[in-house]
């Protein structure tokens, strides 16, 4: 299964992300889960974030894209155009709401969700 992990840090200035270290969390994902890529982006819902998503997903036959950041329902609305432009089905996106948590809490949440998703989607 080909998986990617993105951490959107809301420009790094949002108080909701103040207690967590995006670098540590992203590094944990790449070390433990052997994903295709793990990266941090400052603002995926901005114009350059749209371009980033399109360039990243274009031609990349990804099975799952984990996006840690804000509410997964908000993510769905914000990434819709970019995904549609490159034919990426939103069903492959696994959004993770990591706001207002500590690094340890987010690491545990992300690990659990990746393990659960892998289990479910490999059936
Ligand atoms: S996609 Fe969500 S987490 Fe990322 S910058 Fe926009 S509102 Fe913030």
Ligand 1 within 6 A of CB of 35: no
Centre of ligand 1 to C-alpha 3, Å, is 20
Give the C-alpha separation, 10 to 57, whole Å.
20
pLDDT digits (tens, 9 = 90+) for 5-47: 999 999 989 999 999 999 999 999 999 999 999 999 999 999 9
Which DSSP symbol is given to 101? Answer: -
pTM: 0.96
Provide the token pair at 37.
């890529």
DSSP letter for each residue of 8-73: E-GGGT-GGGTT--HHHHHHHHHHHH--SEEEEES-TTSHHHHHHHHHHHTT---SEEEEEES-HH
Decide: 25 in ligand 1 pocket, CB within 6 A: no
Give the domain CATH number at 111.
3.40.50
Question: Is ligand 1 within 6 A of the CB of residue 53?
Answer: no
State the total domains in the chain: 1
Domain that holds residue 68: 3-121
Question: Looking at the predicted structure, is the pLDDT value of residue 121 above 90?
Answer: no
């Amino acid at each position: 299964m080909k998986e990617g992990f993105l951490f959107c840090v809301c420009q790094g200035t949002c108080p909701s992300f103040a207690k967590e270290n995006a670098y540590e969390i992203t590094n944990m994902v790449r070390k433990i889960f052997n994903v295709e890529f793990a990266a941090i982006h400052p603002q995926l819902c901005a114009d350059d974030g749209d371009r980033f998503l399109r360039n990243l997903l274009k031609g990349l036959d990804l099975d799952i894209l984990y996006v840690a950041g804000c509410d997964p329902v908000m993510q769905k609305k914000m990434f819709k155009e970019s995904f549609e432009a490159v034919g990426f089905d939103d069903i492959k996106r696994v959004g993770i709401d990591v706001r207002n948590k500590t690094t340890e809490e987010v690491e545990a949440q992300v690990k659990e969700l990746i393990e659960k998703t892998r289990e479910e989607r490999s059936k």
